[in-house]
Amino acid sequence: GKTAAISSVDPADIVKVYTVEWEQGSDADLTGLTDREIVLGEALADELGVGVGDEVTLTSQKGREFKFGVNSIMKTGSISLAGEAIINQQSMQRDFDKTEDAVGLVKLDPGADLDSTQKAIEDTLEKQDFPTVEVLNQGELKDQQKSQINGLLAMIYVLLALAVVVSLVGIVVTLILSIYERTRELGMLRAIGMSRRQVKRMVRYEAVITAVIGAVAGLIVGVIFAFLIGIPLSGDGFELSYPIPTLIVILVLTAVAGVIAAIYPARKAAKLDVLEAVSYE
C-alpha cells in the first residue's frame, strides 16, 4: 500500500482561512465533507489511479481498515499544511484516535492589527497553560521553515566539503602513483626534448580530466537520485528544481580544484632527473 500524510480539518472553517485550488471539485464539496469521505491531492490521486466517486481504503497504525469515498481532488500542495489528503475531524478522532489539534489557522478581519492580535492570542494561550504552543504569523512561519531547510543544507554542504577534500587527496595520490609508474616514460619524454613546463602542463591536464570526469559522473548520479527522491515528495507539494547555473559552476570549480591538486605532483614530475628516470626499472 501507499503511505501518505493525512490531516483532518473542520470542513466548514478551512475554506474561510485557506484558498484551495481544485483539480476536481469545489469549496462546496469540501464544506460538505462527511465522516466517510476524503479529499485527495492530485499527485496521490494519480498514483492511486482514482477519481471523484471512487473508494479508497485507509489503514490505521493499529492495522484497522476504513473505506472512504473520494469527495474531491485538490491541486498538489494547495493546502501545504494538510499533507496529501484530508478527512474531517470526526473521522480522525473516531477511526485513528487523534483528538489533539496540531495546527490552528487564524484569519484576520480587514483592518485588524497583526502584532496586537498575535500578542492577544499568545497571552490567552499562556493563561490556558499551553507551554509548547507557538503563535506564528505567515512571515515567521516561512522563516522557521527556511531555517530548518537551511540547517539541513548547511549539514549537507559540510559533508560535501569533506567529500571534496577526500577527492582532492585521492587525485593527488593517484597522480603521484602515476608519476612513479611512468618515471621511465617521463624520462624518455624529457630526453627527446619535453621541457619541465610541458611536463607540469601534462600532469595538470591529467588532473583536470580526472576531476571533471568524476564531477560529471557524480552530477549525473546525483540528478538521478534527486529525481527518484522527488517522486514521493511531489505528493506533498514539493517541486524538484534543477539549478543548471549552479551545476555549471560546480564543473568549473572542479576543474580549478584539479589544477590545485596537481601542483605538488606536477612539480615532482618536472624535477625528475632525466638520466635516473631513463634508467629507472
For residues 124 and 146, membership in a common domain is answered with no
Q: What is the mean pLDDT of the chain?
A: 83
For residues 212 and 265, membership in a common domain is answered with yes
For residues 203 and 220, membership in a common domain is answered with yes
Q: How many domains does the chain have?
A: 3
Between strands 6-9 and 85-88, the pairing is parallel
Task: Specify whether the backbone of 7 is left (phi greater than 0), alpha (psi in -120 to 50) or beta.
Answer: beta
Q: What is the pLDDT of residue 98?
A: 75
**Three cell numbers written together for 119:** 500578542
* Residue 9, beta-bridge partner list: 88
Whole-angstrom distance, CA of residue 250 vs CA of residue 255 = 9
Residue 101 lies in a domain: no
Higher pLDDT, 281 or 170: 170
Stretch 237-265: mean pLDDT: 85
Helix spans in the chain (H)? 11-17, 27-31, 42-48, 89-96, 114-127, 138-181, 183-191, 196-233, 244-261, 263-270, 274-278
Task: Flag whether pLDDT at 30 surpasses 80.
Answer: yes
DSSP conformation class of 15: H
For residues 45 and 156, membership in a common domain is answered with no
Residue with cell 490505521: 60
For residues 86 and 116, membership in a common domain is answered with no
pLDDT digit string (tens) for 112-161?
A: 888 888 888 888 877 777 777 788 887 887 888 788 888 988 998 899 88
Residue 216 lies in a domain: yes
Whole-angstrom distance, CA of residue 247 vs CA of residue 244 = 5
For residues 162 and 245, membership in a common domain is answered with yes
Task: Flag whether pLDDT at 31 surpasses 70.
Answer: yes
Residue 187 lies in a domain: yes
Residue 261 lies in a domain: yes
User: What separation in angstroms does the CA of 44 have from each of 208, 228, 262?
Assistant: 45, 16, 51
Residue 15 lies in a domain: yes
Task: Flag whether pLDDT at 77 surpasses 70.
Answer: no
Residue 234 lies in a domain: yes
For residues 155 and 244, membership in a common domain is answered with yes
Q: What is the pLDDT of residue 281?
A: 61
Residue 1 lies in a domain: no
- Indicate the pLDDT class of residue 101, thresholds 50, 70 and 90: low
Which of residues 74, 96, 118 is at a domain's end? 96
Task: Flag whether pLDDT at 54 surpasses 70.
Answer: yes
Q: 247 with 181: CB under 8 angstroms?
A: no
**Three cell numbers written together for 142:** 516561512
Three-state DSSP class for 63?
coil
User: What separation in angstroms does the CA of 73 have from each of 6, 84, 179?
Assistant: 14, 10, 64
For residues 180 and 234, membership in a common domain is answered with yes
- Indicate the pLDDT class of residue 80, thresholds 50, 70 and 90: low
Q: What is the pLDDT of residue 56?
A: 92
Residue 222 lies in a domain: yes
pLDDT digit string (tens) for 182-237?
A: 888 888 888 888 888 998 999 899 999 988 998 899 889 988 988 888 776 665 55
Whole-angstrom distance, CA of residue 245 vs CA of residue 273 = 45
Q: 75 with 42: CB under 8 angstroms?
A: yes
For residues 32 and 116, membership in a common domain is answered with no
Give the residue numbers spanning the domain of 114.
Answer: 107-135
CATH number (domain holding residue 45)? 2.40.40
For residues 148 and 66, membership in a common domain is answered with no
pTM, rounded to two decimals = 0.56
Q: What is the pLDDT of residue 216?
A: 92
Q: What is the pLDDT of residue 167?
A: 86
Identity at 45, one-letter amino acid code:
A
For residues 212 and 113, membership in a common domain is answered with no
Residues listed for the chain: 281
Query: How far separated are the first and last CA of the chain, in Å rounded?
Result: 65
Task: Flag whether pLDDT at 81 surpasses 60.
Answer: no
Count other Cβ atoms within 10 Å, centred on residue 127. Answer: 8
For residues 186 and 274, membership in a common domain is answered with yes
Residue with cell 540547517: 151
Whole-angstrom distance, CA of residue 89 vs CA of residue 78 = 19
